[in-house]
Chains A and B, each alone.
Chain A
């Protein structure tokens, strides 16, 4: 029997960790993810789990601990944010190339420069090319659900996985949540049983060898193929989770997209705000829709082509500045995916919400108004835009 409760996103992740009872956690506190190891430490201290908690001196060591533990045959987890994730950088590649299925809870926060503790996606977007699966959540319920799906995805594929949520917005806000039974979670997640691991009796195994030029590219190709095969597994696990919980998950979520003429593409908690804006516009007779990208790695190319092909104008929203001087990463990849579509909508980028800048229904109203104008005139104008930023050239100032 599932139980209804109310929890912050951090508490929900720690609770899922408790229900799974993994073998090793290596973690170092950083805002806004600190509460995850904090809550989890209490579960350890109270004897509710028998996880070995390795208190390290940095995130570099936290990820190294996970790599060592996973290579040894343990189910290893960690949690981090922002600069902590940046400090793990070189080890992220090591974990992925050694094909170690580590589960990391990422509580998204801006990267320093200037220092800022609030939400945007620059931390996990920065490491989008490290070879980790990335799944993002809109709500506390989703981050809980995504965490329970993480290991059945990651361990099957032998690819590490990030379960991301928006710092403070979901990590610290308390929402109603439906929690699964411990037994159901244990049954769904199962035991970690790798084929080969360093502590296996009589095993002779070397992990992470030097990859000279005649081998390096073949190793990377194998990794790329594993990521290509990830989508089928993610969808399979998302459907199985739906049968268990009543909440199914796929690569993307389409909201009012069947007949949509204008659409926003968004990642994370802002999708909820966007859906409210879509509801209001639908009442006014505007055919607005929204696509929430749940899985960013692997990138949902076919799903986005299918969802967006019939629309007239699309706004891709990046909670991350990529400094490409022509748009953020979600825009670049979404527009690239749509290049293969027979019918391509007009497409513009909005960089928004950096460093915790508010995103409201008004923000979406403004975006949809501009999309409707684009659909009418057939002109995109400047494709690389920032919204919610003070600008001296703004006529309304």
Chain B
């Protein structure tokens, strides 16, 4: 069976799977879906109380948690929706344009 890592934008029609089926889980990890983000969440760890409310609200599972603490936002998958900033009670997340 064809593996997702072997399919890319140079693949021919013969190299794709029937019906574009995907035979393994979590292949979105390989895809940069954050490239069309306009605003970026800036995280201030000093204001954060680690309530972790932002984590379940993130629709893209882009806020990793380790040892009961949230880490840096996964900007490869964050689409900049701003929900995390909206639900944060402590003003620890601010949506801003990234410096070019």
A residues with CB within 8 A of B: 97-100, 158, 196, 203-209, 211, 214-215, 217-219, 221-222, 225
Contacts and interface: CB of A to CB of B under 8 A. Distances in A.
Interface residues of B, number: 16
15 contacts: A98-B19, A98-B21, A100-B19, A158-B18, A206-B22, A206-B27, A208-B20, A215-B9, A215-B11, A215-B16, A218-B16, A219-B13, A219-B20, A222-B16, A222-B18
Given A98-B20, A204-B23, A204-B25, 16 more contacts: A158-B19, A196-B23, A203-B23, A204-B24, A205-B21, A206-B25, A206-B27, A208-B19, A211-B20, A215-B20, A217-B13, A218-B12, A218-B13, A219-B19, A222-B13, A222-B16
A240 to B, nearest CB: 24
B60 to A, nearest CB: 14
Interface of B is mostly: loop
A55 to B, nearest CB: 28
Contacts of B12: 218
A13 B11 CA distance: 43
A206 B16 contact: no
Contacts of B23: 196, 203-205
A225 B84 CA distance: 46
B18 to A, nearest CB: 5
B57 to A, nearest CB: 23
Contacts of B19: 97-100, 158, 207-208, 219
A294 B24 CA distance: 41
Interface of A is mostly: loop
Contacts of B21: 98-99, 196, 205-207
Interface in B41-75: none
A98 B21 CA distance: 8
A209 B19 CA distance: 9
Contacts of A214: 9
Contacts of B11: 215, 218
A211 B9 CA distance: 11
Contacts of B20: 97-98, 208-209, 211, 215, 219
Contacts of B27: 206
Interface string B70-97: 0000000000000000000000000000
A205 B21 CA distance: 7
Contacts of A97: 19-20
